[in-house]
Amino acid sequence: MFFIGPVVAASTGSSSGKVDLTIEGWHWPVLLGVIGAMLLIDILVVHRNAHEIHTKEAAIESAVWISVGLLFGLVVLWEFGSAAAGEYMGGYLIEKSLSVDNVFVWAVLFTHFQVPKMYQHRVLFWGIFGALAMRVGFIFAGVAIINSFKITLILFGLFLLYSGIKLLQTHDEGFDPAKSKAMKIFHRFVPSTDELDGQKLWTRVNGKRLATPLLAVLVLVEITDVIFAVDSVPAVLAVTNEQYIAFASNAFAILGLRALYFLLADMRDRFQYLQTGLGVILAFVGIKMTLSYWWHMPIAASLSVIAMILAVSIVASLRSTSTTQS
């Protein structure tokens, strides 16, 4: 037992080497309440009126969201102790780094469907809202499977290793989102129009209710999140078995993606080695998860390796871009 401040919170080690927390009845309501309040402030106050988000505003919002995520790490430290805080930061860093690729996919979608920049935030808001709901299901199912069948650690680990290798071997290829199977199914079953109606997802044309292009883009945003979650959720579960920590780290990392998108969307060419770094991170986490069936790597070591890989890939990308421009 750790006596932290005025609250007594159980935080003990488990046979897997990861923390085993006693989650009180108020922990989940407080976490969900904080997330809900932040979403309401964002959509009803900060972005109540549709407007184009420029680099300065995106940088400020990114700093705020990252600060909030780190502050919650301090809350975890206060309530559950250093081991739990380490797992939270490990999950946060993994989700944040792996989500960068998602940001660039969004840029392709918005460009292809010619979504005005002033309406992009509203689409991403609902996209993030849906992503949070889906992550709850992914995380609880993943933890339940691992706890019931420990050998799935090896299977998840090998899958992450495969995903990392595949990412290292894959080069960017052009694709047409409008011709994807998802869009063909969407237009087949959902009456749609090619005309925008402000930032509305639905509109009426000649008395008929039709989906606007923004709803089609939102569907694709949700599908891409499911695809990325297949990699990122097992990666986060490689550092923690606690649903509370896994969801909190995912949630606070995801909440800041909208601001990160407006900051990085036009900078993809400057990060040419980022995909390589993300592939290496996935492969490393996969190996770590596979080995955790027999031996658990200390969270401090995992954090250091992931941070180093991410830093090297970013620095190498910026140096390469600088050399090319000169």
Q: Is the pLDDT of residue 2 over 50?
A: no
Nearest to 299 by CA among 92, 87, 13: 87
Q: What are the tens digits of pLDDT across the range 9-20? A: 445 555 556 788
Q: What are the tens digits of pLDDT across the range 90-113? A: 999 988 888 877 787 888 788 878
Alpha-carbon span 209 to 297, nearest angstrom: 55
Alpha carbon 320 to its chain's center: 27
Q: What's the whole-number average pLDDT of the chain? A: 83
Alpha carbon 82 to its chain's center: 23
pLDDT at 181 (0 to 100)? 73
Q: 11 has which bridge partners?
A: 21
Q: pLDDT class for 3, splitting at 50, 70, 90?
A: very low
Q: Average the pLDDT over 191-215 and give the result.
A: 86
Structure tokens at 121: 């935030």
Q: pLDDT class for 228, splitting at 50, 70, 90?
A: confident
pLDDT at 246 (0 to 100)? 93
pLDDT at 6 (0 to 100)? 35
- Which residue carries 């969201």 as its tokens? 65
Q: What are the tens digits of pLDDT across the range 119-136? A: 999 899 999 988 898 888
pLDDT at 8 (0 to 100)? 38
pLDDT at 10 (0 to 100)? 47
Q: What are the tens digits of pLDDT across the range 42-62? A: 989 888 888 888 888 999 999
Alpha-carbon span 135 to 233, nearest angstrom: 8
| 223-to-103, 131, 228, 248, 305 alpha-carbon distances in Å | 13, 9, 9, 22, 30
Q: Average the pLDDT over 149-177 and give the result.
A: 77
Please indicate whether residue 203 or residue 295 has the higher confidence score (pLDDT).
203
Residues 111 and 275: beta-carbon distance below 8 Å? no
Q: Kindly report the CA angle at 39 between 90 and 91, in degrees rounded to 5?
A: 5
Q: How far apart are the first and last CA of the chain?
A: 58
Instruction: Tell whether the torsion through CA atoms of 320, 321, 322 and 326 is positive or negative.
Output: positive
Q: 8 has which bridge partners?
A: 3
Lowest mean pLDDT among 87-96, 251-260, 279-288: 279-288
Amino acid identity of 120? Q
Q: Is the pLDDT of residue 176 over 80?
A: no
Longest Cα–Cα distance of the chain, Å, equals 66
Q: Is the pLDDT of residue 4 over 70?
A: no
Q: pLDDT class for 1, splitting at 50, 70, 90?
A: very low
pLDDT at 11 (0 to 100)? 53
Residue 297's contacts (CB-CB under 8 Å, 6 or more residues apart) are 288, 291
DSSP per residue, 49-61: S--PPPHHHHHHH
pLDDT at 177 (0 to 100)? 65
Q: Is the pLDDT of residue 154 over 80?
A: yes
Hey, how many other C-beta atoms are within 10 angstroms of the C-beta on 149?
10
pTM for the whole structure: 0.79
